[in-house]
Amino acid sequence: MSEQMIQVNKLNKYFGDLHVLKDIDFHVEESEVVVLIGASGSGKSTMLRCLNFLEMKNSGELYIKGEQIDPKKDNLNQVRQQVGMVFQHFNLFPHKTVLGNVIEAPLQVKKVSKAQAKKEGKELLEKVGLGDKADDYPARLSGGQKQRVAIARALAMKPEIMLFDEPTSALDPELVGEVLQTMKDLAKEGMTMVVVTHEMGFAREVADRVVYMHDGKIVETGAPKDIFENPKEERTQAFLSSIL
């Protein structure tokens, strides 16, 4: 068996009385791209946030690269460095330049030298196609460019896993493609990725596996072709016909 980058066993999460994740079993292998789909409120964001310890699970086991993480004992900042996250809203620092945004965490959290951080930051901006924007402020960028900066910023911590929570949902339609292309490039390089998205074209093309969530449970999982063309579960069929 190849090494699991993420392994989740019987994960449960409550918000007060609301049972949001119900006995979730989930795994992601190295270099695998898993696309998580499901209706609004089904628990997709909470799932990603539990993987990154932005939310704490109530029960169940969570392993990152084979190591069980215990939030009480483990240094969560270290775990978070391994698991980068990109959100729907990019949350860039408006008073910092594009490069300033990208180097902030390596400087503050990893204590990398400024020269080194800048060098690596510029390389990452080249990689996401924004080499010429290093000295601009976020307000001058389009939404698609901002999101690519957010991706570069997450990559600056050299994560081994990247989580994307609807990274293109806040973008004008004509800007979606450039962000998806950046994600495709990352997938091609072998990055392990979990992506919540409604972009079914991306899922078909890039995902190794699609996971359908409904009401806090994983209802069905399979290769994109199987899920889209031949879903086994009625609820998956209903969901897909509601969005396609």
Distance in Å, CB of 243 to ligand ADP, minimum: 13
97 binds Mg ion, rule: CB under 5 A: no
- Of 4, 7, 42, 45, which lies in the binding site for Mg ion, with binding defined by CB under 5 A? 45
Rounded least distance, CB 129 to Mg ion, Å: 27
Shortest gap between Cβ of 213 and ligand ADP (angstroms)?
7
Residue 38, contacted partner among ligand ADP, Mg ion, none, CB below 5-8 A by kind: ligand ADP
Find the shortest distance in angstroms from Cβ 212 to ligand ADP.
11
C-alpha to C-alpha distance for 220 and 236, rounded to whole angstroms: 7
Q: Is position 192 an interface residue for Mg ion (rule: CB under 5 A)?
A: no
Judged by the rule CB under 6 A, the positions of this chain that interact with ligand ADP are: 15, 18, 20, 38, 40-46
74-88 residues labelled b (16+ CB within 10 A) or e (exposed): eebeebbbbbbbbbb
Which C-beta is closer to ligand ADP: that of 71 or that of 131? 71
Looking at the Cβ atoms of 20 and 105, the one nearer to ligand ADP is 20
**Of residues 46 and 145, the one with the C-beta less far from ligand ADP:** 46
Which of Mg ion, ligand ADP, none interacts with 43 (beta carbon under 5 to 8 A by kind)?
Answer: ligand ADP
Which is closer to ligand ADP, CB of 42 or CB of 145? 42
Please, which residue, 10 or 110, has the CB nearer to ligand ADP? 10
What does the binding site for Mg ion look like in residue numbers (CB under 5 A)? 45
